[in-house]
Structure 1
Amino acid sequence: MERNSRSSTAQEELIGRMLEEVQRVDVEREACQRQCHRAERRLQEQQEEHQRVISIYRTHLLSAAQGLMDEEVFLVLSGIWKLQQDLSCREGVEEAEAPSFRGGSGGGRLAVEGTVFSES
């Protein structure tokens, strides 16, 4: 009888430890779920921002293809072109002539190498 009592006590202690472990794992699982939900929200926000940026780029490219470009966009693109040329020069690639920016014939347009750009 005493042996059964010790065995029963040992089983109860084991069950108690196992319940504590289950509770600890459950708390960790809930924390992981919260972290996963936060990551999903951040990913969604970043995807939306990415789509917004792509839309802006597409609009600018379409405008450029139609011969119209905002002056600010032109200046940014010229800066990017210059950075690319600087990198090319460091790598020993021959430097190309920079696009020229000149005022158009009035009417708020800018011309670059034969393409007309609109001023904002």
Structure 2
Amino acid sequence: MMEHLRDLISKSKPGDKHENYTFKFADDVSYTDPVDGSVAAKQGLRFVFTYGSRIMYRLSGTGSAGATVRVYIEQFEPDVSKHDMDAQTALKPLIDIALSVAKLNNFTGREKPTVIT
């Protein structure tokens, strides 16, 4: 799945449309430790859209078998009246894009997440 997403990153161009979202950039995230300066590469794949919406895919090996796929979905909402909306409802369009782009169902065989936080 991660290789599929890396291939997608290499083919994506600013301005590409994903439903109502406009692609800005994507990258393979690295983390630089502020204390010792060490760099941890390939910490996740991030897709950023205009207006600050983003999707990040990470693998975590902390499960009992294989890797856990973690998907982080964020969206800026300037309308204060929408801040109390259920996150699943407010982020549904972006969630649908995240699932479709990653082909999560194809790669994992799962129809829905096992944990949502």
Q: Which structure shows the higher strand fraction?
A: 2
Q: TM-score if structure 2 supplies the norm length?
A: 0.24
With CA pairs under 8 Å and 6+ residues apart, which has the higher RCO, 1 or 2?
A: 1
Quick check: which one's helix share is greater? 1
Q: What's the TM-score once normalised by structure 1's chain length?
A: 0.23
